[in-house]
């Protein structure tokens, strides 16, 4: 009996071993979970596109009263010029150039700024940002093989911030242009440029959003790619090695990169560059309406259903819209059959239409839609406005800089400063056009233009001269005891 039990015990042990061994084999045969997707390798893309990316350095002739700062390098000057709209201030206690540094004469050149660009054609057409070369007396393009070539400015367009320059060379490496329509939110993208003059720097991130309306003429691509001064004008590249945008702007409260950057869609940029290469300028259409967004409350109250279209605040007398029968209070819902979701859509669609072309405006008026035929005119830059203020004997004549945005201003008296408990500012004496649309009123006290303090009319003119009037201009003002931010925007199509 004892020997039989031992035999049974051995048999049971063998059976258990086989059972557990089989379970182990079965477990080993189970499919292994897919590993987490690794980050992409950007090395091949950098080698592929890098040779077609260039550095851009701009120079300006030294003029009397325009001495160089002398105590900081050119990349920091570009940092302050691009993101603060003014030259970098001298440190406390240093009010001029360093001692023993010679002052430039009228014929000398001094560095003005840094940027990037990329080569479009083998014979030397280069695309960059308009703000990189605007105002430059000389443009120097640096290739990856260290050659430095003088560039001729073919044309620039401030409204889209696109520019084209030409260098005399052949057989140059070029970029491939991608399809922005295929670009997806969350897709990896790459930037190559010269931040702070550090040539051929590569940064990467993802597309955060498309069609981002920042108030500029074009809807922009938002990314989290690190962009800094000197990157402006460089390419945004997809994982196929194609350029999908031009790195142009950042959102920042400090002046440095804060995780949000913007690029101009390459399809729009190419359309602009083609016109610049042919004619040196960009022609745009206009119909002569002042427009605004349609709010949810308004849309529901008038029977439109959802907030869409462009609300017509006013119609310019004698304009194409006036001749077509557009009235103030209309809501333009379509332009040539294309739906207008936001007011800026109309501005862009009209702007992209060739002057002289006929188009159909669909307007919503008194609960019903109707089609109106319009002949698109050519857009002209906003002309300086002579404000209709008080009599010449009563109020000072405003400067051309102030008139260009529809303002007339005067210095504050010491009594007014004391009463308002402020150190400086200018008083608004007259308002029209852009300033009026922004909501600025007579009697307001403007204390900042484009984030620059203004203590008197002279400083107001200087600050206004530095800002790009084709883009939104932030204005900080005092109205009574309350401070407000308003935005002066360029003329709308």
Q: What is the DSSP string of 42-66?
A: -HHHHHHHGGGEEEEEEEEE--TT-
Q: Which of 69, 194, 232, 273 is flagged as catalytic?
A: 232
Give the active site residue among 69, 131, 208, 444. Answer: 131
Please say if 161 is a catalytic residue: yes
Strand partners for 358:
375
**2 assigned to a ligand binding site:** no
Pairing of the two strands 242-250 and 176-177: parallel
CA 217, 131, 154, 227 torsion-angle sign:
negative
Structure tokens at 265: 């869609």
Tell me the C-alpha distance between 56 and 232, whole Å. Answer: 10
Q: What is the DSSP string of 125-138?
A: EEEE-HHHHTT-SE
| Residue recorded with tokens 């009599």 | 391
CB 132 within 8 A of CB 58: yes
Q: What does the alpha-carbon distance between residue 133 and residue 136 come to, in Å, rounded to a whole number?
A: 5
Strand (E) or helix (H) holding 429: strand 426-431
Q: Are 53 and 235 in contact (CB under 8 A)?
A: yes
Does 232 participate in catalysis according to the annotation? Answer: yes
Considering the candidates 157, 161, 330, 345, report the single residue annotated as catalytic.
161
Nearest to 217 by CA among 348, 389, 29: 348
Residue corresponding to tokens 């083609």: 274
The dihedral built from the CA positions of residue 134, 136, 137 and 139, taken in this order, carries a sign that is negative
Please check if 468 is assigned to a binding site. no
Q: Specify whether 131 is catalytic.
A: yes
- Annotated binding-site residue? 131: yes
Binding-site residue set for substrate: 131, 161, 230-232
Binding-site residue set: 131, 161, 230-232
- The catalytic residue positions are 131, 161, 232
């Amino acid at each position: 009996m004892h020997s039989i039990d031992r035999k049974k015990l051995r048999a049971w042990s063998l059976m258990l071993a086989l059972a557990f061994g089989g379970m182990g084999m079965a477990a080993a045969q189970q499919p292994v979970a897919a590993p987490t997707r690794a980050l992409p390798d950007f090395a091949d893309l950098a080698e592929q596109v890098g040779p077609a990316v260039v550095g851009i350095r701009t120079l300006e002739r030294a003029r009397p009263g325009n001495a160089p700062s002398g105590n900081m390098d050119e990349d920091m000057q570009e940092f302050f010029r691009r993101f603060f709209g003014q030259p970098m201030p001298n440190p406390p206690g240093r009010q001029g150039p360093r001692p023993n540094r010679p002052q430039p004469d009228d014929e000398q050149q001094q560095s003005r700024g840094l940027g990037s660009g990329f080569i479009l054609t083998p014979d030397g057409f280069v695309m960059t940002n308009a703000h990189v070369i605007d105002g430059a007396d000389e443009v120097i393009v640096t290739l990856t093989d260290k050659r430095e070539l003088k560039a001729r400015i073919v044309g620039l367009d401030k409204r889209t911030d696109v520019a084209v320059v030409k260098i005399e060379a052949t057989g140059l490496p070029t970029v491939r242009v991608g399809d922005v329509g295929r670009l997806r939110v969350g897709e990896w993208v790459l930037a190559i440029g010269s931040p702070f003059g550090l040539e051929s720097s590569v940064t990467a991130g993802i597309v955060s959003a498309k069609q981002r309306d920042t108030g500029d003429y074009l809807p922009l691509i938002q990314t989290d790619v690190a962009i800094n001064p000197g990157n402006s004008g460089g390419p945004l590249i997809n994982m196929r090695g194609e350029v999908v945008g031009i790195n142009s702007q950042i959102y920042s409260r400090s002046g440095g990169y804060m995780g949000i950057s913007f690029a101009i869609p390459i399809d729009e940029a190419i359309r602009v560059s083609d016109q610049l290469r042919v004619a040196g300028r960009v022609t745009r259409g206009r119909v002569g309406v002042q427009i605004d967004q349609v709010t949810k409350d308004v849309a529901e109250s008038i029977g439109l259903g959802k907030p869409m279209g462009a609300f017509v605040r006013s119609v310019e007398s004698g304009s194409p819209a006036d001749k077509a029968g557009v009235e103030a209070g209309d809501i333009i819902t379509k332009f040539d059959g294309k739906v207008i979701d936001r007011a800026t859509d109309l501005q862009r669609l009209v702007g992209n239409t060739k002057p002289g072309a006929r188009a159909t405006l669909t307007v919503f008026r008194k609960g019903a839609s109707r089609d109106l035929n319009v002949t698109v005119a050519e857009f002209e830059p906003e002309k300086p406005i002579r404000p209709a203020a008080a009599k010449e004997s009563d109020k000072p004549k405003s400067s051309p800089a102030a008139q260009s945005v529809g303002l007339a201003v005067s210095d504050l008296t010491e009594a007014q400063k004391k009463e308002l408990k402020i150190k400086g500012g200018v008083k608004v004496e007259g308002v029209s056009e852009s300033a009026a649309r922004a909501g600025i009123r007579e009697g307001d006290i403007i204390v900042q233009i484009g984030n620059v303090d203004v203590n008197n009319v002279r400083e107001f003119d200087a600050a206004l001269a530095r800002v790009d009037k084709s883009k939104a201009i932030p204005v900080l003002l005092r109205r009574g005891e309350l401070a407000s931010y308003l935005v002066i925007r360029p003329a709308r199509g």
